Amino acid sequence: MKKTSTRLADGRELIYYDSRDDAVRDVPDRRPLGSTETASELRYDPLLDEWVVVASHRQGRIYHPPADECPLCPSRDGRLSEVPAADYEVVVFENRFPSLTTAGAGLPETVSGALPHLARAGNGRCEVVCFTSDHDASFADLTPAQVGLVLDAWTDRTAELSALPGIEQVFCFENRGAEIGVTLGHPHGQIYAYPFVTPRTERMLAAAAAHRRRTGRNLFDDLLAAERAAAGTPDDRVVVAGEHWTAFVPYAAHWPYEVHLYPHRRVGDLLALNDAERAEFCTLYLDLLRRFDRLFEGTGNRTPYIAAWHQSPVGSGPGNCGELALHLELFTIRRTVGKLKFLAGSESGMDVFINDVSPETAAQRLREVSP
């Protein structure tokens, strides 16, 4: 992999990731952009003991532009975009409308106000990851080699962002589909570098600590072992498995079709995966995405989904292997043809999910559809 870092016209960093060592990336950004102004703030919710990001400047971000004005396509045919090159493999750049900003990076962290009204600067970093220059493609259309390059980019960004002052967690994810709320149709994902450990991760860590106290074992190890042991039984929730990874529908799935993908060897983050694990991920993940797309064939649209990497918080160095195990969670809000799973009263008001599809049925359906 060759990595080339450059700057856009407004000073934001852009990084090309190429499979060829002889790739040349020297085209400047010729757009007349002024400096980007952001207004990001963290406000503390004392009732839930968590931070909320307030980023009012994002109201003006680009929303569903026509394909010939896509800002994530390469700059060509006289049209300038966020990517100066006429073509690319994988590219990462700082979001022009970030939820978190690096404006105060390196400055002492301060909390203003007094309970119940505490606030702090929205320091962090938000990046866009373009998986391919092909506007009409999707992640599932990539080759294993292309997925490998995306994985390299995720890993490199995890390392780089984890080293920034004040960053406590790095989150790589993809939103796909207008139903999810995606505002740009080009195949892309995002990376958030948070200045705190997220509430979901805090809950996982608390559950893992309690499990360790009760049993002396790791919770994630036990979850994976239980799902692998149930394969081939009436309670089989494994969708697909390889030598190094297993994908399964969790016993208490929140979403109609939800799959968790675990490496068999517990590691804390993407940096700790070995070559064999990385290679198998590329083929197995494509298999999984293609199964998702076959679930609702004939609807005219590909299955909307969120794919989320869960990594250990920053703090124990590269490859941190604490209680939290690296894994990917993939789920869709579509429950059947023409019907979505809405987060209504119980889910939004009380955080109590009600799933309309049994996990065993979902797993069976995903096993049946051919990738």
Stated as kind and residue range, the H or E segment containing 176 is strand 169-176
Quote the radius of gyration of the chain (alpha carbons, Å).
21
Q: What is the pLDDT of residue 318?
A: 46
Q: Contact 222/347 with Cβ under 8 angstroms?
A: no
The Cα–Cα gap between 231 and 224 comes to 11
SS3 368: helix
Q: In sequence order, what DSSP letters do the residues of 180-196 get, joined into one string?
A: TT-S--SSEEEEEEESS
User: 72 is written with which tokens?
Assistant: 């994530």
- Judge residue 75's burial from the number of C-beta atoms within 10 Å of its C-beta, 0-12 exposed, 13-18 middle, 19 or more buried: buried
Q: What is the pLDDT of residue 68?
A: 82
Q: What is the pLDDT of residue 301?
A: 73
Judge if pTM exceeds 0.75: yes
Residue in 57, 64, 135, 188 annotated catalytic = 188
Q: Contact 314/194 with Cβ under 8 angstroms?
A: no
Q: Contact 16/27 with Cβ under 8 angstroms?
A: no
Identity at 66, one-letter amino acid code: P
What is the torsional sign of CA 115, 117, 121, 123? positive
pLDDT tens sequence across 280-318:
999 999 999 999 999 998 666 789 999 999 999 997 544
Q: Contact 175/182 with Cβ under 8 angstroms?
A: yes
Q: What is the pLDDT of residue 253?
A: 98
Smallest CA-to-CA distance from 19 within 151, 159, 171 is with: 151
Told to judge if 188 belongs to the known catalytic residues of this protein, a careful annotator would answer yes
- Ordered by where they begin, the domains of the chain are 2-196 (3.30.428.10), 200-368 (3.30.428.10)
The Cα–Cα gap between 59 and 284 comes to 37
- For residue 183, CA distances in Å to 61, 62, 65, 179 come to 9, 7, 8, 10
Identity at 27, one-letter amino acid code: V
SS3 275: helix
Q: Contact 171/194 with Cβ under 8 angstroms?
A: yes
The Cα–Cα gap between 75 and 62 comes to 17
pLDDT per 10-residue tile (average), the chain, 371 residues: 96 96 95 80 95 79 73 95 97 94 68 90 94 97 98 98 94 95 93 96 96 97 98 96 98 98 97 98 98 84 94 71 92 91 94 96 94 70
